[in-house]
Structure 1
């Protein structure tokens, strides 16, 4: 059986941006994520945590924290977009590597905007194929220059979101250079089947984000055609065991892959009152560790 190591991320403290007055200050996040019992974290949006490696390492060491990955977006489906994407990706990758991380989580850009309007057409098969080639090249270069493994994160309202677009992405990319960050919440939000993806593509599961979706809120959001961001503000992402997918079968399937994986709790909570995240983080870690998740240490 593989070891599934649980961690957390700034997202679970309501952090979506590098700087936003609605968000938890970075010092409070670091204090509280350690207090909740986690030892593994992600960087969150570049610039939220200190970007000076020496300062960040000192802050992490004080709290017994280690970085598992950096996270960033790409827009490689657009023509002539590699250089502009690379500039954003490289700074995150450089900091993650300096912190000893081994992964870079990369997300697609959006086809739907914050207010629900369609901002870009969905990719056709030719567009998906071209996008896959570009992401493969991105992963190759990320590993060559920074030693990080690229894990691609499907995202609701993004160009890789539904089960069919995830499977098409896997078909159009090279596993030597890019694999899947299985985000259980985004897959469920978009009507996908997490267990089927694990079963069909065991060798492509390189990293995991754990979250659950409230099916009642999701049904309302789908009926109204609102954006993912608007659905999050209504509480579509909920703490376990209050949503879908069920966590114990997912954790069991992941452990059955016979590889060591990081599974990062990433409950979207933007915006959120400052005293809300810590109790949720404690309860979530206790629940996951009692239902098949590995120790966070």
Structure 2
């Protein structure tokens, strides 16, 4: 019998239903996502791209309450490595999302750094490596964001290492953590993205445990990943090839990750995200049901 992972709170997200954008004809309607995520046995959800779910707090509260759902976090994209000139525009976007996240009773804001490669066209927009000055802008900007979000909205920011961004590989993640204040900035460890970029999630949890504030559960298909790396395939097309796969068929193994997280002795959200944009509308629900069953078998 697997020991219960009683500090892990499992949820899912619009991403597991193929949702990447606020409005897109290839995505399922938000009502269907809410119905199906509840039917699959999850009680926690993320907001997904701002504007996908209703942004009026009273309406959204009514919709999630009737499905016995609760919100764990909102998500924002930022380009803070570009320096103080982007702060005002960043804060305007963050404030919108943070206000709704706070209104829904959630405590976390997932912060994703901007892409250096366009996820639709694959065009390289910026160099993959930051200069020393850009690193300073990024780390100081994230600390400022963490402080302002906490002061204004009472939320903790958790920065999400992500493929095709400047916080991706083990070296970049460690440099980011070593350069930021743990009182202001912690990590949303996405097991799939970290594996995609060559990192070891269990090692990261065991080494930087006090900085792990949130988890995204995801796996990569090693065979597809090898081809993606070899041919330098951008993240968007890699997802369309199925690089992010249904657990437990990929890597990393999720049970050791969850056990390592449980050992930290703190309550952590573990939100399932299986990148599937775009996907057939009937595909997500059966996967979500099987994934929830699998996570229960791990004790979560």
TM bin, normalised by shorter chain, reads over 0.9
Contact 1:75–1:81 (Cα < 8 Å) also in 2: yes
Match of 1:111 among 116, 124, 141: 116
Shift of 1:161: 0.7
Contact 2:81–2:136 (Cα < 8 Å) also in 1: no
Unaligned 5+ residue runs, structure 1? none
> Which structure 1 residue ranges, 4+ long, deviate > 3 Å from structure 2?
none
d(CA) in 2 for partners of 1:90, 1:185: 28
Matches within 5 A, 1:184-223: 184-223=191-230
Alpha-carbon displacement from aligned partner over 1:74-112 (angstroms, at most 9, x marks no partner): 010113111111111110000000000000000000111
Give the TM-score normalised by structure 1: 0.97
Alpha-carbon displacement from aligned partner over 1:40-66 (angstroms, at most 9, x marks no partner): 000000000000000000001110000
Match of 2:28 among 18, 24, 29: 24
Contact 2:20–2:277 (Cα < 8 Å) also in 1: yes
d(CA) in 2 for partners of 1:254, 1:24: 32
d(CA) in 2 for partners of 1:238, 1:56: 30
Equivalent residue, structure 2, for 1:86? 91
Give the aligned length.
293
Shift of 1:124: 2.6
d(CA) in 1 for partners of 2:197, 2:122: 15
Mean alpha-carbon deviation: is it higher for 125-134 or for 171-180? 125-134
Task: Answer yes or no: is 1:120 the counterpart of 2:126.
Answer: yes
Equivalent residue, structure 2, for 1:135? 142
Mean alpha-carbon deviation: is it higher for 123-132 or for 77-86? 123-132
RMSD of aligned Cα (Å):
1.0
Equivalent residue, structure 2, for 1:64? 68
d(CA) in 2 for partners of 1:53, 1:130: 33
Q: State the SS of the aligned residue for 1:77.
A: helix
Equivalent residue, structure 1, for 2:51? 47
Shift of 1:172: 1.3
Q: State the SS of the aligned residue for 1:166.
A: helix
Give the TM-score normalised by structure 2: 0.96
Task: Answer yes or no: is 1:152 the counterpart of 2:159.
Answer: yes
Q: State the SS of the aligned residue for 1:154.
A: coil
Contact 1:105–1:153 (Cα < 8 Å) also in 2: yes
d(CA) in 1 for partners of 2:57, 2:297: 35
Equivalent residue, structure 1, for 2:184? 177
d(CA) in 1 for partners of 2:150, 2:194: 26
Shift of 1:129: 2.5
d(CA) in 1 for partners of 2:152, 2:75: 17
Shift of 1:2: 5.8
Unaligned 5+ residue runs, structure 2? none
